[in-house]
Structure 1
């Protein structure tokens, strides 16, 4: 089966698609560094390093089984202004245009959970209706990467569409429901540093905001969080490279300081002893990129590529379920969809997941 990867970044989604059995014949990515990374591991497909609005996809009509991709998430992220369709970076209409031009058997669209929340929910529902109007049964779900073997608590929205049936999502392979412990970040990284850590110190927060877990809340400066030695880490951010880079507590300061604060102790000041920020290579491993995978561009450009990418292992889980259903093969356990009120386009049904 052949696929196209839109807004491909460095190729996290494509890596999962290929492992699942798809042949990626083309990708579109505007960022030159991300495209250079993509080309370094894929020299056979057609590469469009340009604005997607300038690309016609009519030549692929009838030649592609799957359209995949994650339009830029900034218009919908809770960390931004969430201007939705009024944000010039909103490329969901372009994704819909490409789908209409290519008319593949199925599609996968990825984005942030913020798209489903109250402020942008009307736009999300409009997008679902437009996708369905292209001739597809629609199913969507909010999935956590940690439930599919990724050592990271990264939640993302996925929308699936198919011409002839409602595609279902793969059931979790890790966590309470699966009966298999989540993969920890430390089990992937090991004990020795990998790559060069950024020169950004970690400071005690002036006004710490504690949570029951020592590894939650805002006890230290910036958006970077200490890694929990017994579980997945927080979401790897595209803005990593400075104080938003997660870090390793090499001297076991975090649990001791948390207990100190919970007992009513006064906040400390200054640099946290033994705190080491994660390198690009370590962030990439937590994202489940293959060991030794190289990213192009400056260090900040590399961090951005890693943080923006779909984790390859998560992509593989979803793409594998889609590939099996399209091929009519016996599939691993799937999540049953929950159907809502039918929409107006003939027999197409709009449904959503968890």
Structure 2
């Protein structure tokens, strides 16, 4: 790679961009957006305004860079206009894989993960970055993940998954995200996952002390609250339009918030005023959207004038819309500091900086041996045959484990069961059920039917 190629501005196409958590992080890592596509109009407006107000885009550039609508609808944007872009990135919808949901995977009309992987094969970026919830790392989705890696290999990419925790990158929140990074081979040799920070992030009390005092709340009350809020936050849950108004998560999360002195039953319009006392049975004040944004990794504090380090103002952002919409925009976002750390690592790989790594060839990497075996066999196999064939490769599975894996496969793939003359059932693996752009896929009908409740 020539010096001029290394020095040029890297560009990114971002899908399912939301209100811009990943957008901001990638911009701070040195990427400029060709286009960011987002379904929700409020989030898209927030994104467009901040591209101009915070990131220095002209009004026309900001308008051109944000496409509003269903990312899989060809009338919203034209992916083929962005062939060979440096990076394709996105935070595709989480509900198909969320432990809090039904984990429908490929059968959920909101699942765009497989579609995004196929999109990678069509526009051929140098690198791919997709993030999702921890649930995608579960055993339930081993075949799904295997299919993704195999498909990326067919496209000429080396891919890997990693579970990253936001609190390891300066965010005061326990927010695990399951991340897929894939690069063309010549760049994959230079990729290293970002190194977690050695220092712990601020506690919730330390982080929010000034905001909690901004409404006039008594100093001694603020001090007592800061002392109680002596840990990091549980995962912020943005939710969707299918689930009521804004609150800070399910029952378990609410208990964790209560231990920090926070009432998680809603979001406040402002900080506590002078003389405010928590009612009986209430653990403390509610958070405002500004407080939630800080916990999510956004900073609203300007850097000191003349400072060489913009650390405090690096992740400034202003949200637009009503309170519930703003809360969802914040809660559903990828924390900007984590996105920046990943962006820096990917940028270095694309520029082929640092030491070349010896790639461990992972084309034969087996996440789900039953999936691999059935995918590679043209004839149906019984459970005993599956166990026997896997044993010859050194993989020892017992019948219950094979049955469990077959059950998981049936959720995301067509599994055909054929009764042999002996009455024993043989299994063969058919097509992947996920939406990858098919004109006749059920996703089109279900998406249209539920459009008003999808965010």
Query: TM-score range, shorter-chain basis?
Result: 0.7 to 0.9
Query: 2:172 touches 2:295 (CA, 8 Å); kept in 1?
Result: yes
Structure 1 stretches of 5 or more lacking a match?
A: 197-225, 254-269, 345-354
Matched, 1:152 2:169: no
Cα distance 1:284–1:227, how it changes in 2: closer, same or farther (>3 A)? farther
Partner of 1:133: 154
Cα distance 1:193–1:93, how it changes in 2: closer, same or farther (>3 A)? same
Inter-partner Cα distance in structure 1 for 2:358 and 2:172:
25
Query: 2:262 touches 2:286 (CA, 8 Å); kept in 1?
Result: no
Inter-partner Cα distance in structure 2 for 1:67 and 1:235:
26
Partner of 1:329: 353
Inter-partner Cα distance in structure 2 for 1:329 and 1:141:
22
What's the CA shift for 1:39?
0.6
Inter-partner Cα distance in structure 1 for 2:230 and 2:44:
35
Cα distance 1:330–1:296, how it changes in 2: closer, same or farther (>3 A)? same
What's the CA shift for 1:342?
2.6
Query: 1:52 touches 1:94 (CA, 8 Å); kept in 2?
Result: no
Aligned partner (choices 278, 284, 296) of residue 287 of structure 2? 278
Query: 1:169 touches 1:335 (CA, 8 Å); kept in 2?
Result: no
Partner of 1:242: 247
Matched, 1:116 2:137: yes
Structure 2 stretches of 5 or more lacking a match?
A: 1-9, 53-60, 216-225, 240-244, 264-278, 301-315, 367-455
Inter-partner Cα distance in structure 1 for 2:196 and 2:228:
21
Task: Give TM-score, length-normalised by structure 1.
Answer: 0.74
Partner of 1:3: 12
Between structure 1 and structure 2, the one with the greater Rg is: 2
Partner of 2:389: none
Query: 2:237 touches 2:248 (CA, 8 Å); kept in 1?
Result: no
Q: Secondary structure at the match of 1:79?
A: coil
Inter-partner Cα distance in structure 1 for 2:238 and 2:82:
32
Inter-partner Cα distance in structure 2 for 1:290 and 1:20:
16
Aligned partner (choices 124, 128, 140) of residue 107 of structure 1? 128
Query: 1:110 touches 1:158 (CA, 8 Å); kept in 2?
Result: yes
Taking the TM superposition and a 5 Å limit, the aligned residue runs for 1:256-275 are 271-273=280-282, 275=284
Matched, 1:36 2:41: no
Partner of 1:317: 341
Matched, 1:61 2:83: yes
Query: 2:91 touches 2:131 (CA, 8 Å); kept in 1?
Result: yes
Alpha-carbon RMSD: 3.1
What's the CA shift for 1:328?
2.5
What's the CA shift for 1:279?
1.0
Cα distance 1:338–1:300, how it changes in 2: closer, same or farther (>3 A)? farther
Deviations 1:294-318 (A, max 9, x none): 2222211111111110000111111
Deviations 1:56-106 (A, max 9, x none): 3111113x1011101101000000000000111111132123212211111
Q: Which has the higher helix share?
A: 2
Matched, 1:75 2:96: yes
Inter-partner Cα distance in structure 2 for 1:312 and 1:155:
14
Partner of 1:94: 115
Matched, 1:297 2:321: yes
Q: Secondary structure at the match of 1:182?
A: coil
Inter-partner Cα distance in structure 2 for 1:149 and 1:302:
23
What's the CA shift for 1:192?
4.0
Partner of 1:259: none
Inter-partner Cα distance in structure 1 for 2:364 and 2:354:
28
Query: 1:71 touches 1:90 (CA, 8 Å); kept in 2?
Result: yes
Deviations 1:164-192 (A, max 9, x none): 2253211111xxxx3x2333222221244
Q: Secondary structure at the match of 2:327?
A: helix
Query: 2:19 touches 2:43 (CA, 8 Å); kept in 1?
Result: yes
Deviations 1:233-260 (A, max 9, x none): 111110372363865779799xxxxxxx
Task: Give TM-score, length-normalised by structure 2.
Answer: 0.58
Inter-partner Cα distance in structure 2 for 1:296 and 1:338:
46
